[in-house]
Structure 1
Amino acid sequence: MKVDFYTSQREYKEKKAEFDSAIQSVIEKGSFILGNKVAEFEKAVAEYTGAKYAIGVASGTDALVLASDILGFKDGKEVITSPFTFLASASCIIRHRGKPVFVDIDEETFGIDVNKIEEKINNNTVGILPIHLFNQMSDMDKIMEISQNHNLKVLEDAAEAFGMRWKGRGETLRHSGTIGDFGVYSFFPTKTLGGYGDGGMIVTNSEELATLAKSYRVHGAAKKYHYDYIGYNSRLDALQAAVLSVKLKYIDEAINKREEVAKLYIESLSECSYIKIPKVKGDQKHVYYVFNIIAEKRDELVQYLANNGVGYSIYYPKPLHMQKAFSYLGYKEGDFPIAEKVSKEILALPIYPEITKEEVEYVCETVKNFYKGK
């Protein structure tokens, strides 16, 4: 059996008529840059997440870059974040000549260890950039408490966290991205809410920040050809907005299916002594964007999976502080031992709403067969 790590074709075939109609409507109207389709999708995202404002941009990376610029994460100022993440979570700071300051991760969740943030704060610190990934949000109660005590800005990297919600010590669940000053989502095709190309979104509850974000995405223009800032060319395509609007109608169903797949994995693999499954901490609603395991002999296992037709991914094989592009920051091997250890053991197995029970069972049996006799 062959099991893809991800495929968009099954979802497309299921809802082909809706997708085709949505795309065709954009082509027929000829409005490809921003326009009604993007405005409608922004409104729908705002309503779903509870954010007051949603601003569509060209990618999740661009969302981080714009938000970092607006929040002042630049010109030598320091921003505290995690080294165990995708490049864009830190490069968005470096793009503006800011300095990412890393702290190690929690060994059970792989998210930033919030108990290590405060020791890194100094007079040059301007913000915290928590990353909600590996199916759960960071401890936003602790992060917001720290930010308020030290007058810091918070940019939530919720690129992988659409649908996640945090309750913590509050009375109601708050959607990822809506707790800090800015939040960002990515609509990369593999995401929980993914398009048929790149796309991103900035959300905020601040009218002032929303106005700036809308200006920055169109070169810094307050109105056409009137520039208040040096901004960017980063606008969500109308075609992507049309596709994403179809998918958003079914997002809760898709999230529930991901949960069902994750339960199959947990039930089948929990008794395998060579594997550990990450824990979800805090009072929150998690979403299984990925299904990660910590696996002994990880590199041997991935070769065995590949030989048996099972797709996989590794998020992430090398922490950012050990990457050549970040060497100028002066970090060295051993500075963040938990992130370094996890990077050698973590493995993501296939999970998406359309994967079948038989395929999940095959993946589990393949994993367990590898460990037989070990």
Structure 2
Amino acid sequence: MILPAPPSPIQLLDLATEHAAMQPALDEALREVMTTAAFIQGPAVGQFAAELGEYLGGASVIPCANGTDALTLALMSLHLPAGAEVIVPAFTYVATLEAAALLGLRPVLVDVRPDTFNVDPAAVEAAITPRTGAIIVVHLFGQCADLEALRAISVRHGVALIEDNAQAIGATFQFANGETAFAGTVGEVGTTSFFPSKNLGAMGDGGALLTRDAARAVLLRQLTNHGQSQKYHHQHIGLNSRLDTLQAALLRVKLRHLPAATAARQAVAARYDAALAAVPGVVVPARDPRSSHVFHQYTLQITEAGSRDELQHFLKRCGVPTMIYYPLPVHAQPAYAYLGYRAGQFPVAEWLCGAVLSLPIHPLLTAEQQEYIVGLFGQL
């Protein structure tokens, strides 16, 4: 069989080309930081925090070193006792569990919904015990989890809600009462990551915490900086977790391009939907009508057992990169064997790990490239 060749090189993510379009502004941002030499806690850090907060509807934004630190700091701000339980989805990146485990808290896994991939609120409620200290909800792949139900569970049981918003910056959720809120701004604390591959990505590591609670914002600022508000006066045990000025300056530039980049991702997803919705054995991403979707990933389910890997290998041979997020459920990771979970306890998460496949999606993916990609699905 003669394999087709792509019309132009296809990348899972094309950061170099994206950056080239804004290069003069990026260069100027770097030059300003180099001139002032305020590399730690320089003015760009506060400016970026204020601008992102405005973008997110007036939330307080507390920058930090990375997304995993953000999760750790969010939990630290709750002052939970050792051994308290933290409910987390069984289908997620390991950092969601890692933050809790590092603090001596106990991750309690619950299954996810097979359509949206997000945590199942019924499973969350069933997992609540007197030892539950927090619920961490992950807005996976760019779409909000069911914040209506999760916020109600949080309030009903007096348990803090933390939103892991590393993949859904800018997504919104509409509640039954007509209220619309940005992902990451509904619970006690939201977290996000500026890892370079994120929709709003730095050129290195970075993260932030989000909150609408002014007192918690003060506490979180202290916790990111050795527990101090004034140098050498430490009110709390904290971390050294600061977003450096260079990254903040670059993120200020990229934030201005985020709305257009999000719209471009949504257009790419719509084209994929139209072309792939009727392909046998393929399930396109479901949409919760209450949530916008910013498409950090465009993730299919390949429903015929064993055919996902065959499809991935075929696409690779044809010049189409793909990724599997995530190939091994977190309860099967050796590091978390101590939690005592067994195969079969989280059937949806386990199914998804064997069925999901993420296609290239970024703002510069052309319609011609997409036509080539979807055309390959009929050639297996």
Instruction: Give the TM-score range, shorter chain.
Output: over 0.9
Query: Are positions 1:298 and 2:308 aligned together?
Result: yes
The match for 2:341 among 314, 331, 334 is 331
Conserved? CA contact 2:142–2:169, under 8 Å:
no
Match of 1:100 in 2: 107
Q: What SS is found at the alignment partner of 2:46?
A: helix
Conserved? CA contact 1:168–1:282, under 8 Å:
no
- Shift of the alpha carbon at 1:279? 1.0
Conserved? CA contact 2:227–2:239, under 8 Å:
yes
User: Which ranges of structure 2 fall in alignment gaps of 5 or more residues?
Assistant: 1-5
Aligned partners of 1:337 and 1:266: how far apart in 2? 26
- Shift of the alpha carbon at 1:287? 1.2
- Shift of the alpha carbon at 1:282? 4.3
Identity of aligned residues (%): 36
Deviations 1:134-192 (A, max 9, x none): 23111111111111111101110011010100112132310011100000111111111
Match of 1:354 in 2: 364
Match of 1:227 in 2: 234
Match of 1:56 in 2: 63
- Shift of the alpha carbon at 1:222? 2.2
Match of 2:249 in 1: 242
Q: What SS is found at the alignment partner of 1:127?
A: strand
Aligned partners of 1:279 and 1:292: how far apart in 2? 10
Aligned partners of 1:66 and 1:135: how far apart in 2? 22
Query: Are positions 1:125 and 2:132 aligned together?
Result: yes
- Shift of the alpha carbon at 1:368? 2.8
Deviations 1:65-106 (A, max 9, x none): 111111135510001110100111111111101011111110
TM-score, length-normalised on structure 2? 0.95
Change over 3 Å in CA distance of 1:211–1:293 after alignment to 2: same
Aligned partners of 1:31 and 1:362: how far apart in 2? 47
Aligned residue type for 2:368:
E
Aligned partners of 1:114 and 1:173: how far apart in 2? 19
Match of 2:3 in 1: none
Change over 3 Å in CA distance of 1:201–1:349 after alignment to 2: same
1:164-243 correspondence runs (5 A) = 164-243=171-250
Task: Give the paired residue count.
Answer: 370
Change over 3 Å in CA distance of 1:363–1:175 after alignment to 2: same
Q: What SS is found at the alignment partner of 2:377?
A: helix
1:78-117 correspondence runs (5 A) = 78-117=85-124
Aligned residue type for 1:82:
P
Aligned residue type for 1:302:
Q
Aligned partners of 1:165 and 1:179: how far apart in 2? 10
The match for 1:278 among 269, 285, 298 is 285
The match for 2:47 among 40, 50, 57 is 40
Conserved? CA contact 2:87–2:124, under 8 Å:
yes
Query: Are positions 1:70 and 2:77 aligned together?
Result: yes
Aligned partners of 2:40 and 2:371: how far apart in 1? 44
Aligned residue type for 1:21:
E
Conserved? CA contact 1:57–1:217, under 8 Å:
yes
Aligned partners of 1:369 and 1:214: how far apart in 2? 54
Aligned residue type for 2:353:
S
Aligned partners of 2:379 and 2:81: how far apart in 1? 50
Query: Are positions 1:12 and 2:22 aligned together?
Result: no
Q: What SS is found at the alignment partner of 1:334?
A: coil
Conserved? CA contact 2:87–2:108, under 8 Å:
yes
Q: What SS is found at the alignment partner of 1:368?
A: coil
Aligned partners of 2:84 and 2:201: how far apart in 1? 33
Deviations 1:7-37 (A, max 9, x none): 2111111111111111111111101112210
Match of 1:317 in 2: 327
Aligned partners of 2:351 and 2:80: how far apart in 1? 29
Match of 1:147 in 2: 154
Aligned residue type for 1:358:
E
Conserved? CA contact 1:112–1:138, under 8 Å:
yes
Conserved? CA contact 1:59–1:198, under 8 Å:
yes
Q: What SS is found at the alignment partner of 1:284?
A: coil
Change over 3 Å in CA distance of 1:73–1:293 after alignment to 2: farther
Query: Are positions 1:368 and 2:378 aligned together?
Result: yes
Change over 3 Å in CA distance of 1:138–1:101 after alignment to 2: same
- Shift of the alpha carbon at 1:208? 1.5
Q: What SS is found at the alignment partner of 2:324?
A: coil
Q: What SS is found at the alignment partner of 1:166?
A: strand
Aligned partners of 1:72 and 1:337: how far apart in 2? 33
Kindly report structure 1 stretches of 4+ aligned residues shifted beyond 3 Å.
Answer: none
Deviations 1:281-323 (A, max 9, x none): 2412221111000113111111111111111111111111111
Match of 2:350 in 1: 340
Aligned partners of 1:28 and 1:355: how far apart in 2? 36
Deviations 1:256-298 (A, max 9, x none): 1001101111111112112111211241222111100011311
- Shift of the alpha carbon at 1:219? 1.1
RMSD: 1.2
Aligned partners of 2:78 and 2:202: how far apart in 1? 27
TM-score, length-normalised on structure 1? 0.96
- Shift of the alpha carbon at 1:123? 0.8
